[in-house]
Amino acid sequence: MNSGKANLWRKLQTGAIWCVAYFLLWLILAAGEAPWFGLLLAVFAAWVSVRINTSRWFIRLSALPAFIVFFLVELWLGAWDVARRAVHPKVPLNPAWVSYPLKTTDEQVRLLLSALTGLLPGTLASHYQQGKLHVHVLDQGQDWAGVISHLEEHLTRLLTGGQP
């Protein structure tokens, strides 16, 4: 009974923090217009955040610049690569489903890795299961594993401060 109450209290606290954050986001993006509508959305978004149990993130700021540079370079290379294939007369593709053995066991790193893989050159993740990331690659001949492995290292350094 007591622990249930403490749990509820913690959820309310987390929800309140999310609510304030979302409301600020609304005020900035909508330049202060329609605050009541924004508040309504913020409450709803906070409820969803508490429901899916997103924990607050730890970020190692010293690892951030290297991550941003790596990510922007790969984003550019990825878009360039896909653009080249799209306008090439023969549309050179050699797509396949492959699986990448995850080195990290950290849930947040895995989640973010799975989402961001879609922005790297030639790779796109659908989900991970039993320590393996399921990835669709545009060209089997490309070094897709190396790129994902680099992103994994960067994210691990950024979110946990250690090595994968």
Partner 1 sequence: MIEALSILLLWLGGAFFVIGTVGLLRFPDVYSRLHALTKADTLGLGLVILGLSLRADQLFTVLLMLFIWLLVMASSATACQLLARYQLQSDKDSSDGGK
- The footprint of partner 1 (CB under 8 A) covers 28-29, 75-76, 78-79, 81-83, 85-87, 91, 93, 95, 114-116, 118-119, 121-122, 124-127, 134, 136, 138
Identity at 100, one-letter amino acid code: Y
Nearer Cβ to partner 1, position 38 or 121? Answer: 121
| Sign of the C-alpha dihedral computed for residues 121, 114, 160 and 46 taken in this order | positive
Please report how close the Cβ of residue 12 comes to partner 1 at its closest, in angstroms. Answer: 26
Nearer Cβ to partner 1, position 8 or 73? Answer: 73
Please report how close the Cβ of residue 163 comes to partner 1 at its closest, in angstroms. Answer: 24
Q: Is 120 exposed, middle or buried (0-12, 13-18, 19+ CB in 10 A)?
A: buried
Q: DSSP 3-state helix, strand, coil percentages of the chain (rounded to 5)?
A: 60, 15, 25
Please report how close the Cβ of residue 4 comes to partner 1 at its closest, in angstroms. Answer: 33
**Three-state DSSP class for residue 121:** coil
Reported residue count of the chain is 164
The rounded distance, in Å, linking the Cα atoms of 83 and 87 is: 6
Nearer Cβ to partner 1, position 4 or 146? Answer: 146
Please report how close the Cβ of residue 1 comes to partner 1 at its closest, in angstroms. Answer: 38
Nearer Cβ to partner 1, position 11 or 108? Answer: 108
For residue 137, report the phi and psi dihedrals to the nearest 5 degrees.
-110, 145
Nearer Cβ to partner 1, position 39 or 119? Answer: 119
Q: Is 81 exposed, middle or buried (0-12, 13-18, 19+ CB in 10 A)?
A: middle
Please report how close the Cβ of residue 110 comes to partner 1 at its closest, in angstroms. Answer: 12
